[in-house]
Structure 1
Amino acid sequence: MAEVQALAAKVLLAAFFLSFLFGAIAQRTHFCTMGALADAYNMGDTMRLRQWALAAGIAILGFWALAAAGQIDPAKTLYSGSRWIWLSALTGGALFGAGMVLASGCGSKNLVRLGAGNLKSLVVFLVLGLSAFATLKGITGVLRVNTVDRVAFDFGAPALLPVGIASLGGISLHAAGLASALVLGGGLALWALAGRGFRTFDNLLAGIGVGLVIVAAWWVSAHLGYLAEHPETLEETFLATNSGRAEALSFVGPIAYTLDWLLFFSDKSKLLTIGIVSVAGVVTGSFASALLRRQFRWQGFAGTEDVANHLVGAFLMGVGGVTALGCSIGQGLSGLATLSATSFVAVAGIVLGALGGLRWQAWRVERMA
């Protein structure tokens, strides 16, 4: 057990370091899913959307390269269940997408802003965490389980695109995974890099840096933290995870677990996990970057309407992120890297919800004018 605990500490330290890098990169480059969609919708500027596409492309290519090298098992991740919860992913994704527009950014972006001194993001952090925990184990969780979660299709095998291709084409999972990754991941990366004026230091740092952080996070959880047989339970284990399966970066459920850990710190059953240290790492990384670049500034709400928007947005993100099994980073990058069928639907839901939120904001401005 001493060796297991030492290995768990290494996993947590590695997860903190990677999330620290994520926070620092996002603070410097303004990497943001909501911002990327808003720039493209409002101004026709695709620079930040290309950052996101490059990160997603590298995450997909890196994940399946690790799988082909035998470093990780793609069938044992949080996103590889056999049940295709398409309605939960679509509904939750849409709620999350609308919420991140109202709250001026997704969960990860608000952690980055919190590190740079934005007190509005502290309110978002608290409300998002509470609503997420309620959707995991509380009143909205009961509603989730008894409604959208009931609608699902069971494939009888991991609901991953390469699994379907392998079974139909009579080829190995690794070959199908690499082929799919080259087409989808490579396509996203090429589209991003082909943008006029895109290949600047900050854009490449955002896309390549965030993408590699996601890949490394998968390796830490699925390889470094993997035990074929835990000495106490004698069962297969992924150390320091909340789900018991391999995880990468995500920022809705982990914020809820962070609040739970802080509130019940004296309860010895409450242990640090990858998700909890990742939340701390993003805030710390952003704080360090903001200080070094002299961009740390205390910021607050502009008025009552601003408060209301952030409260509603945080609530929608908490409920939606848990329902969709992830956020714009959790499903959008970590989940999409696995080419999960559920992740594709969740990303579509997030985009649709965000576009709806942006259209509502534009209508409000027009109406006031």
Structure 2
Amino acid sequence: MQAIDVSVLTAQVLWAVFILAFAFGALGVRTQFCTMGAIADAVNFGDWRRLRMWMLAIGVAVLGFNLLVAKGHFVADQTLYGGNRWQWASAAVGGAMFGFGMVLSSGCGSRNLQRLGSGSLKALVVLVVMGLAAWMTLRGLTAVVRANTVDTLALTLSTSQDLPSVLGALMGGSRTTWAAVLGLLIGGGLMAWVLSAREGREAVVLAGGLGSGALLLGVWWVSLQFGHLAEHPETLEEAFLGTASRRGEALNFVGPVAQGLEWLVFFTDAGRRTTTGLVAVLGVFSGSLAVHLLRGEFRWEGFRDTADTARHLFGAVLMGIGGVTAMGCSIGQGLSGISTLGLTSMVALAAIVLGCVGGLRFLTWQLERSA
């Protein structure tokens, strides 16, 4: 393969991810697919429809990813969420911070990109502050704190830290066999639970859950198959074209927002590359913008008052620091990472949910105190 072919293939990978992210953003607007909203509906109002939608998306992602592992198309250890280090402390602390922060900021990174597409200047401020906090936690002051505290509290396993590999090492059997079994049990079980209830079979729940899960698998396919080179012609090493980590990546919206700010600041630097994470951010925003313009719903929106501004700024900082520390957000770990059945992702997802519930309780306490 010639270098020019690699360049063309990289561009095709980036366009494919942009199109899939565009659809993800448009679908999110149409179905109100939102992690924080799903948890808030269940906790505050006892309405489980959006939570079932989210669980259906996870079920589709887990089932699809692990069946493709069983077929030999995907390898969890080749992804951003692979490796043999179980970073339980980083996932727990970062996930809880992110979950709490997304409540204060009226949604996660993906949701704020969708709100930005509706004309929300609040979302723009949240994304910029979240990106700066994430940038600091990747390479700046808070990166030093992270690296010298929670990142040191990790377990190094003898195998990759995805559950099929761990069970294969402990109980015998191949990783591919365990991937098929766990994919059917966990992914299929979640889907069955959702569909067992009448509200889980509503059109909007099915569209949001099945569609979001399928689009995520599409991004995984582009990264792990279409954009994968067993041997790059220039480096002679394995390569995943267009990714910032040089491993397989799916949807994630904290680190890529920071990369977007860095890309804007250092645009003239010839070493800067356009990545799949960056085009996914642009894709979700563009998909949301298109839907809101077509429906005539684009409206400028600002902060209500000083307290509203302060709450969103603090939440954005928590999301930026927490999302990088946990190695993913409510989409990055809560959908992309969990589809690999990584132990770190499982801890991060649980911590995000608990942090979100804590944030909702905090807001309720604030409202009651002010009343």
Class of the TM-score when normalised by the shorter of the 2 chains: over 0.9
Pairing 1:194–2:196 present: yes
Is 1:286–2:295 an aligned residue pair? Answer: no
Match in the other structure for 2:30: 28
Which 5+ residue runs of structure 2 have no aligned equivalent?
none
Which residues in structure 2 correspond to 1:1-369 (within 5 Å)?
A: 1-369=3-371
Which ranges of 4 or more aligned residues in structure 1 deviate by more than 4 Å?
A: none
AA paired with 1:7?
Answer: L
Distance in 1, Cα, partners of 2:324 & 2:229: 27
Identity of aligned residues (%): 55
> What is the one-letter code of the residue matched to 2:344?
T
Distance 1:343 1:255 in 2: 20
CA distance in 1, matches of 2:255, 2:213: 21
What displacement does 1:167 show?
Answer: 2.1
Which shows bigger deviation, 138-147 or 75-84? 75-84
CA apart distance, 1:263: 1.3
Aligned alpha-carbon RMSD (Å): 0.9
Q: Distance in 1 between matches of 2:77 and 2:158?
A: 12
**Number of positions where the alignment pairs a residue of Structure 1 with one of Structure 2:** 369
Q: Tell me the distance in 1 between the aligned counterparts of 2:321 and 2:20.
A: 26
- Taking the aligned partners of 2:74 and 2:189, their CA distance within structure 1 comes to 23
Counterpart Cα distance in 2 of 1:87 and 1:23: 31
1:12 counterpart letter in structure 2: L
In 2: Cα distance, 1:317 partner to 1:195 partner: 33
Query: How many angstroms does 1:250 deviate by?
Result: 0.3
Counterpart code for 1:209: G
Answer whether contact 2:120 2:301 (CA < 8 A) is retained.
yes
**Rounded Cα–Cα distance in structure 1 between residues aligned with 2:63 and 2:295:** 32
C-alpha deviation, 1:166, in angstroms: 1.6
Specify the code of the residue in structure 2 equivalent to 1:336.
I
Per-residue CA distance 1:86-143 (angstroms, 9 max, x = gap): 0000000000000000000000000011011111000011000000000000000000
Q: Which amino acid aligns with 1:30?
A: Q
CA distance in 2: counterparts of 1:89 and 1:183, whole angstroms = 24
Following TM superposition, by how much is the alpha carbon of 1:156 offset from its aligned partner in structure 2, in angstroms? 2.2
* Residues in 1 aligned to 2:115 and 2:190: alpha-carbon distance in whole angstroms: 27
TM-score, length basis structure 2: 0.98
- Segments of 5+ residues of structure 1 without an aligned counterpart are none
Query: How far did 1:292 drift?
Result: 1.9
Taking the aligned partners of 1:77 and 1:198, their CA distance within structure 2 comes to 31
Question: 1:228 is matched by which residue type in structure 2?
Answer: A
CA deviations over 1:192-238 (Å, ceiling 9, x no partner): 11223332222111000000011111111011111111111111111
Alpha-carbon distance in structure 2 between the residues aligned to 1:46 and 1:141: 37
Structure 1 residue 293: Cα displacement = 2.1
**Equivalent AA in structure 1 for residue 299 of structure 2:** R
Residue identity in the other structure for 1:38: A
Q: TM-score, length-normalised on structure 1?
A: 0.99
Distance 2:293 2:204 in 1: 18
**What secondary structure sits across from 1:240 in the alignment?**
coil
Say which is worse superposed, 291-300 or 104-113, in terms of deviation.
Answer: 291-300
Post-superposition Cα deviations, 1:272-323, rounded to whole Å, max 9, x if no partner, equal 0000000000000001111222222211111111100110000000000000
Farther off after superposition, 15-24 or 185-194: 185-194
> In structure 2, how many angstroms separate the alpha carbons of the residues matched to 1:153 and 1:67?
24
